Structure 1
Amino acid sequence: MKTPQNERLNIRLWDVVEANQQGPDRVKGAAVIDAPPGLGKSTAINAFGRAFHRKQIARHGQDLDDGQTQHIPVCRVGFTGNMTTRALNESILNFYNHPAAGVTKSRYIRNRNMASLAAESVRRHGTRLIIVDDVHFLKIHTNEGIAVANELKWLANEYPATFLFTGVNMTSTGLLSESKASDKMAMSQTARRWTLLGLPPFEPPVEDARMPWISLLGSIEHRLVLANAPERMLREQADYLWVRSTGMIGSLFELIIRASARAIRTGEETLSRELLEDIEIDAAAEAARPVVTKELEQLKVNARKKRVRQAKKAEGVSA
């Protein structure tokens, strides 16, 4: 879905990636998308990676100059709960199906050799974008975490590619700030090289913020295939759907997908209020529902009062 948030994010991601294509001898900046769960970070970054992949393939072809090497413009890996420098390089080698990936636990292959093999795979396959998901799993306050952070800086210098990261609450991890006293310089370098980007939730559908939410619901309606779906089925329930999802696109899609599955299974073939009310979604959205209900009602009251004041002021000017 081309939401306003995704549109803004894509513009900034293209800025970072295309700028890094100029001047290959300089240190490349990276971007990190920092947003709470349920806002579509992984979906957005995967969509961007797919668009970049297609653009590079259209320009340079499926194979590189020798015709024997597959062109792989984008590499994607994810952090685990216990990420180490060896595990990071192993993930990259596994992505390329490198023969060394199966023997990375051998004592004959040192970590630096693995890093060199991973870098060579990136160069050989013409990779220009590396996506690293769930980077918030990095424990920067540990020695291993600092080692991985330093490894990422080395990779950014060594690889002819741009790094794009996603994470949750990145500002509190210490990765973008001065972590340990002995590593202030290292963390400061990361903060200077990484661009922090956000992916905010939808604001309450009141006044100017209402149109983007209505537009999103209209786009979803256009894609739903339900036999008895009336016109404006979702848009007429805009306030209710915002309350149920708290403006989080992940919660919204989960609600609509589950409700659609039941509507098809039962033969109802429409998303009525009764059906939606009987669908349970993530615990965070359900727990926040009473609070956001009051918030939305108060914002609507304030908006009405504002319109009344503006109307009275306009009448006074006219008189």
Structure 2
Amino acid sequence: MAYVLVPPGASAKALAGEFARFLGVPVTARMTQTRIVDAVCHTYREAGVRLVAIDEIHRLNPRTTTGAEAVDLLKDLTERIGATFVFAGIDVTATALFSGVRGAQLAGRATVVDCGPVPLGGGGGRTPFRDLVAAMEACLDLRAHRAGTLPRAASYLHARTGGRIGSLARLLRQAAIAAILDGTEKITKGGLEGIVLDHTAEDHYRPRAGGRTRAGGRTRRHGT
């Protein structure tokens, strides 16, 4: 798998350079875009890359000259590398990315999947958020942390983060760092409560005016 982050205002050459950087393909200032792209395609094929994730795709604007060239480059790479491309961005269907001739070509190669917060539960007894928490817990390397502690707190963690993967990862990472620094080597609810998250997560969870807090999409009063 390869991961490429689209730089702000990226030109086609700059974007090709990001593809090269991920696999350590040497690029010099004197190299032309064609040489960089040829090196990228060759290296990706030789490495057997089968999945390419391109993040912040909404930064591309095909209505500008540089944006149009970058979109053309992506189209060419999808044909030459022979991997599955996953484009991730914010409100991409509402941007210029899928408009015009170039946008139509890109839209014709992509299936739009709307991604929202991970639900706490699912149909058929599935527990997607709990499973996500368990997978993250398995990556922890804390000597005193007991496996299964965090999945059992899935409801609390969902309320703290609103089901957002980024907020959950940040919460557990900061809690793990704090546990290492204070020597406890385990994550507790008290430790989690002491961590301040991003504004969206905090606005979702923390008490608001009138002694209320919003958790899990519901409004509740403290002490009731």
TM range (shorter): 0.7 to 0.9
The equivalent residue for 2:58 is: 136
Q: 1:224 to 1:151 in 2, by over 3 A?
A: closer
Task: Tell me whether 1:87 sits opposite 2:11 in the alignment.
Answer: no
More helix by share: 1
Partners of 1:162 and 1:284 lie apart in 2 by 32
| 1:7-51 CA-partner distances (Å, limit 9, x unpaired) | xxxxxxxxxxxxxxxxxxxxxxxxxxxxxxxxxxxxxxxxxx1xx
Instruction: Report the alpha carbon displacement of residue 150 of structure 1 after superposing the two structures with TM.
Output: 2.3
Offset at residue 83 of structure 1 (A) = 0.7
Unaligned 5+ residue runs, structure 1? Answer: 1-48, 50-74, 179-183, 299-319
Return the alpha-carbon distance in structure 2 between the equivalents of residues 267 and 119 of structure 1.
Answer: 46
Say how many residue pairs are matched: 213
Which residue number corresponds to residue 310 of structure 1? none
Aligned to 1:263: 179
Alignment partner for residue 273 of structure 1, among 183, 189, 202? 189
The Cα RMSD (Å) is 3.6
Q: Structure 1 residues 240 and 187, CA, compared in 2 at 3 Å: closer, same or farther? A: same
Matched to 1:295, the amino acid is: G
- Alpha carbons 1:90, 1:104 under 8 Å: kept: no
Matches within 5 A, 1:33-48: none
Alignment partner of 1:117 is 2:38: yes
Cα distance, 1:104 vs. partner?
Answer: 3.2
Q: Aligned residue for 1:254? A: 170
Distance 1:239 1:185, change over 3 A: same
After superposition, what is the alpha-carbon deviation per residue over 1:61-105, rounded to whole angstroms, capped at 9, x for unaligned? xxxxxxxxxxxxxx5533111211222333445556666x31436
Normalised to the residue count of structure 2, the TM-score between the two structures is 0.72
Greater Rg by CA: 1
Q: 1:244: Cα distance to partner?
A: 0.9
Which sections of structure 2, spanning at least 5 residues, go unmatched? 207-212
TM-score where L is the length of structure 1: 0.54
Query: Could you tell me which residue of structure 1 aligns to residue 89 of structure 2?
Result: 167
Greater RCO structure (CA 8 Å; 6+ sep): 1
What one-letter code is carried by the residue in structure 2 that aligns with 1:263?
A
Structure 1 Cα separation of the partners of residues 137 and 37 of structure 2? 49
